[in-house]
Structure 1
């Protein structure tokens, strides 16, 4: 009896089968799968699935992880293994098409140029992201191949080269966000409602008072309460209007001051690990693409992200982060419409580190 582990996404599914090194015939689902016998990679719309042993699975994990890192960062980096030792290859066709090539047999020790491809599959960006997430689920499973590890090192920003912005690369994968972007752009051009000053009250006519004072039957002036002067009414109205304007200005100033901590406390927090992983990758790509200014110290921020991937709040954690916030892209990336809108939407919080050496680290915020 074998142990089977499955990691499913809408466009991709990984199935691993193997045994436990503890031996025995009665294997339970809670046992560790330490000996991999076969691996299957099912891509939606591509039949039959890609299959192979441990060499195939290790090559798949290495190539997909390395290619995804290059695709999101826009920086070419050395692969973990030589191209002549891999059973699979991933190459970019265009911004929304990626070619996965599987070669026949084990080419270890040989030259991949002499091998003929056994299978070629073209993946869309959405399918590629689902494959990456399926591999992430495998790494998060401590009961499957605990001895398997993947060495990943960050790439310095000094190695970056000018290229196509990452926001354009991930646009097909986040096509659902286009409607939000159009709505935000439309709201940007809507003029701010003008606050009209209250109209001055009309001064009371003195005609009736004059008639009373000049009554023909009266021989003396009757004591009457003096009518308020128009100047006094104008002054009161102006004072009221100025107070209202001051209150509106103070409200706008308070809103501007609260932008840094807006939405950091919310009643609806995203807890799905898969959704948090997607938002983490999107936030890292967005900030890395917009970060242009060098910094003189490590800057740490607590950043709040909405379910659609927009940044709706951030808060400096160390003193240097508060002093050099203008050197980061966070103020420009803050979604002002979302900050001033409904705060009942689902959010996730991340720790963002701008390293003095030029590295960017994004990870879920740990309370």
Structure 2
């Protein structure tokens, strides 16, 4: 009995139909689409869908995935190929238009065989990313073509050329009617804030005031923000906020107080936004090659300022000057202490030239 899978987005719909040959195995017999018979790609505004078989679908996945990676990174790289001519091809027309060409077959020109263009479709950037999302939904479906895989390799930042920032590339995708609809839906679920009357300040006794004046000042978060140091110490240690073991022992009590009073950002959307800002800031400033992997814990405020970093592996402590972290540290934001919300991220500098930023 034929099995059908459908992956729908506002501007694109991907329909796969096939059979199952998993009887007698542990992969949900009769429910796994393991043999693809036909594939249909419906694009909004097109009268007829793009159709084909196994080769058509595999070529579609390879070309769209490679083109999307190239478009987002701004780095030209060889497209995924299977050792034979592709049935589809994608190339850029302008900032918001992308042409998809489907080839009918080969034509002979003398001693050479060239592909014969068949149908062409111009996709907007919104339609392109809906097609990418439909393909991502297919890969996330473990019951559809479980043996199919796509070898995707990261492109080296050393091959990057100066060009349009990534934020400006994806800006047309984020605006328009679809963006307004998503924003309106998100605001609908935001609870109405509860208004509370301010509490009256409690009078303090002379004894408590005296203790307050003689108590040590609160220090920033241990290992991430700068701490007060004497004038005789190296000024570079003050700017990076790195504390040695003796200072950690002396400030243990104040550090625990700092951790309890600081406000940590927990909203997933806000963390994702700050993660993107941190990646772009470091990626644009990193120019010195390294010969060892470096890992840091980096603190960032809700305003997008870096207020501290801490080396995680031994090589990171020695190679910090080869990273842009010291230059990106914002001293004004550091001076505000725990009065601001912050989020922590794990920053990984690869010796091969790759950069990764993940929530801590």
Sort the TM-score into its range (normalised by shorter chain). 0.5 to 0.7
Per mean C-alpha deviation after superposition, the further-off stretch among 131-140 and 31-40 is 131-140
Q: Does 1:321 align with 2:316?
A: yes
Q: 1:247 to 1:342 in 2, by over 3 A?
A: closer
In the alignment, what sits opposite 1:207?
none
Q: 1:118 to 1:267 in 2, by over 3 A?
A: closer
Q: Alpha-carbon deviation of 1:340? A: 7.8
Which whole-Å CA distance do the structure 2 matches of 1:21 and 1:355 have between them? Answer: 43
Q: 1:106 to 1:300 in 2, by over 3 A?
A: farther
Q: Does 1:116 align with 2:111?
A: no
Which whole-Å CA distance do the structure 1 matches of 2:8 and 2:277 have between them? Answer: 21
Tell me if structure 1 keeps the 8 A contact 2:39–2:57.
Answer: yes
Which whole-Å CA distance do the structure 2 matches of 1:312 and 1:10 have between them? Answer: 38
In the alignment, what sits opposite 2:59?
59
Listed one character per residue, the Cα deviations across residues 279-313 of structure 1 (whole Å, up to 9, x for unaligned) are: 988876665444323234212245689999x6878
In the alignment, what sits opposite 1:20?
20
In the alignment, what sits opposite 1:78?
78
Tell me if structure 1 keeps the 8 A contact 2:106–2:115.
Answer: no
Q: How many residues align?
A: 285
Which whole-Å CA distance do the structure 2 matches of 1:55 and 1:354 have between them? Answer: 38
Which whole-Å CA distance do the structure 2 matches of 1:83 and 1:332 have between them? Answer: 46
Matches within 5 A, 1:1-367: 1-22=1-22, 31-81=31-81, 85-105=85-105, 113-124=114-125, 126-175=126-175, 256-257=225-226, 266-269=265-268, 287-301=282-296, 316-325=311-320, 327-329=322-324, 343=341, 351-361=346-356
Q: Alpha-carbon deviation of 1:90? A: 0.9
Q: Alpha-carbon deviation of 1:66? A: 1.1
The secondary structure found in structure 2 opposite 1:85 is coil
In the alignment, what sits opposite 2:250?
none
Q: 1:252 to 1:56 in 2, by over 3 A?
A: closer
TM-score by length of 1: 0.59
Q: 1:29 to 1:269 in 2, by over 3 A?
A: farther
The secondary structure found in structure 1 opposite 2:48 is strand
Listed one character per residue, the Cα deviations across residues 119-174 of structure 1 (whole Å, up to 9, x for unaligned) are: 322222x3322322222222222221111111222333333334433333233234
Q: 1:91 to 1:121 in 2, by over 3 A?
A: same
Which whole-Å CA distance do the structure 2 matches of 1:305 and 1:98 have between them? Answer: 36
Structure 1: runs of 5+ lacking an equivalent:
178-239
Which whole-Å CA distance do the structure 2 matches of 1:54 and 1:159 have between them? Answer: 34
The secondary structure found in structure 1 opposite 2:149 is coil
Q: Say what the alpha-carbon RMSD is for the aligned residues.
A: 5.0
In the alignment, what sits opposite 1:192?
none
Which whole-Å CA distance do the structure 1 matches of 2:306 and 2:349 have between them? Answer: 19
Q: 1:23 to 1:255 in 2, by over 3 A?
A: closer
Tell me if structure 1 keeps the 8 A contact 2:104–2:115.
Answer: no
Q: 1:41 to 1:311 in 2, by over 3 A?
A: farther
Q: 1:52 to 1:282 in 2, by over 3 A?
A: farther
Which whole-Å CA distance do the structure 2 matches of 1:169 and 1:8 have between them? Answer: 24
Tell me if structure 1 keeps the 8 A contact 2:19–2:34.
Answer: yes
Give 1 or 2 for the bigger CA radius of gyration.
Answer: 1
The secondary structure found in structure 1 opposite 2:101 is strand
Structure 2: runs of 5+ lacking an equivalent:
180-209, 228-239, 242-257
Tell me if structure 1 keeps the 8 A contact 2:283–2:355.
Answer: yes
Tell me if structure 2 keeps the 8 A contact 1:295–1:356.
Answer: yes
